Structure 1
Amino acid sequence: MSIKKIFFIFITAFLLNTVWEHLHSLLYIHYKGGEITNFILFRATLFDAVFITVLIFVMANIKSLNKTWFLVSVSVATAILIEIYALSTGRWAYGAMPVIPIINTGLTPTVQLAFLGYITKRLNKIS
């Protein structure tokens, strides 16, 4: 995979996650007890875009698996672990967030990496 392709994957993931982070930030009460600022949303977006870019790069270089299921399953598992950690340590708290029963994580953060990773993969024509 070329540097140019990786760059476009990152930009796509960054733009999609910027919109997502700003929209679903309204479903949270706070970040570390304080206001959710644009800088906090930028950092979250940057992490998400780097994660998706690295995951797609790894996925593209593995030949013997269903790449879409790899992308989705690793993304959902990672999101669940991040949410469980963040909620248990008080990094953030949900407000009007729909919560998935049993795992007790927010719907939008749980599906974000998988959904936007898949969209990024499709928009960049990664097979």
Structure 2
Amino acid sequence: MDIALWIIIGLLALAFLGAGILKLLRPRTALIDGGMPWAADFSPLAIKTVAALEAIGAIGLVLPRLTGVAPLLSPIAALGLAALMAGAVVVHARRDEPVLPPLVLGVLSIVAAVLGFIVLV
């Protein structure tokens, strides 16, 4: 079960870290023009906040388990990312945009949290 957890959190960390860094480094207009039209509804500060939460969540998935320091934080980070993806699903649904990508990431985050709590027990 530990291997399955590492695979899931590794893939999630890559996805969230990549998305977070992309949103942190690119200006709002570049995000809108680059295929993220939802960014038009949010301020640059809100976009950067979401980006920082994604990047910090990605680090929080891996670092506690990797170091063995407070491994309980890893499933908690997964729950935080699941909540973030629940918000993304709502935003995309309201804009009639595809909800499958954030929905899949949210479900995988919940799976990572459940497995993380199970492995701790």
TM-score for the superposition, normalised by structure 1: 0.39
RCO higher in structure (CA 8 A, sep ≥6): 1
* Structure richer in helix, relative to its length: 2
* Structure richer in strand, relative to its length: 1
